[in-house]
Structure 1
Amino acid sequence: MVLPQQNFSASTSMQYPLSLPGSLDDALRSQRKFADLAYRVRFLSNFLAAARELLELISPHHFNFSLYHEQIITIIELARKTLESARVLPYLWASCPERLVPHKNAYINLLRMLQSNERYVDTQSQKRLRILLMPLTSNFAIEKGGSPPPARDLGKSSFTTSSVTRSRASSPSPEPSSSTMLPPDDIPNAYSRPHAPSLRHKPSGHRLWHSEELVTPKLRRKHRSPSPHRADKQLDQENVAPTVSFYQPPPKQRFGIFLTGKSSMMGKHKDRTGRPTH
């Protein structure tokens, strides 16, 4: 015999199960997990463990990356800020202290995981994705404590060396130096003028002569050397005392009748008799 209370509980458990569905339960657990990883990745002491757990969480094939891509990008951005606060450049070509090389390797692994799943990222988050994936554009390896970069491929260097060797072999041998003594037949004669190649060019069909064939007139000398006779004459003139000449200014000329100080021509003179009066 089934009691009414038992029947009610059985029907309630069938309609409203005590445990949540698997998909929703997994979503809630994933949300809590992402929140925990976002907090732990901010500290260097928990950085490596948080990065490893994030990779393990995303590695299964049934993981829905498109559903959690925003949380994953946020965690990787926080990881980048953690490395930058420790003065570690998150680039492959940048040097890194030896004690922080594992942290940088873990961050590079997160970037490669993000790059392999970039097709699941929506268009709104593409800009953030491109900024994070910029360090993967270089082909250099991580350096430890400022060590020099790895050597280049030997094939390229051997090819370059062989090409240089071939170019040197094909180049003509240098001319003998002047210190080498020539045979007697090859010694040039001191009185014979060496044969110089002609600098004249063949004139074109429309030109009657070349500019180099024209005779340039000689410039006249501006300063000629004085002759001996002229030099003696100048010396005699220098020894003679200069002649003194007096300068007499021209007399002033006065014009007009009323503006001059001279007496009038009709003035009184002692030798002139006046007009008789009646």
Structure 2
Amino acid sequence: MEAARALEQARAQPGNDRDTLLEILELQGVVAGMLQQPAKARAAFQTLLVLAPEYRLKGDYAPRVVTPFFEANGWLNDKGAALRLEVVPASGTDNLLTVQAKPDVLNLGRSVLFYQREAGAGWILTEQPLVEGMASVERKGRRVEWWAELLDERRAVLTSLGSETSPLVTLAPGALASTPAPVPTLSEKQPQVKGVPGSPLRTVAYVCLGLAAGAGATGGFLGLQSNQARARVEGAPVNEAGYTVGLTQKEAFALDARARSQGQWANILFGVAGAAAIAGGTLWVLGAPVTVSAAPSGVVVGGTLP
């Protein structure tokens, strides 16, 4: 179906951030469930829950969607399959930053993107492949701040260790830990304004709204075809004895079966269109650009809704 293909294309885009990836996986599971493809729905939900074990569906869906989600959640708990990125402690004079992805039961991880810097310097980015679930990078100083992201084969962010705002700190063997970077006083701080671009959620919002339009149009077409087939059966002329003379019995049965089938698919597509429209509208609002201003009185966040 068009909805499933559009989501596959969105999933194949390189460099999706984590939030975008989770939204795509949820929608893939929902669409597969509504199309009565439980195996595909369960697989999408398993990947979703491996990355975000506490994730909950954002809408109220029929059992054909909810059941695969609960099955995936049970599988996650049985396997202990929640994916995480952990620090591997350095040994001796080791000059490496090393992380391990575990337990990668779905074999999703392909590489790790390391961010590191010395105090006051810019971030240095280094991508290293996973080898037996581990990746390492040379430490670029005696005292470095760093964090890391686990990437899949399309460089989408699966999970992370630390963050830009809460990095880890690693010292070289023998380095003193008592020399933190000087913190400017309040009077020395200058207001800074940082523009934050629109979230990639906007991209997924466009996909969802496109799906809604496509599914709605297709559903409307199938509904019209169903009504026309039903009208031919019900409007066929009859003779004085009350028997239908405009259609053979075989033709009548065929038209009735076609009307039922097209009606069922129309209802499914209308459901997909509704879910995609709700998701698209929500993601459009959540993806609105904002500005963040740092001032002596605090942090001010501003922006405009569409």
Query: Normalization by structure 1: what TM-score?
Result: 0.21
Query: Normalization by structure 2: what TM-score?
Result: 0.20
Structure with bigger strand share is: 2
Structure with bigger helix share is: 1
- Higher RCO by CA contacts (8 Å cutoff, separation 6 or greater): 2
Larger Rg: 1
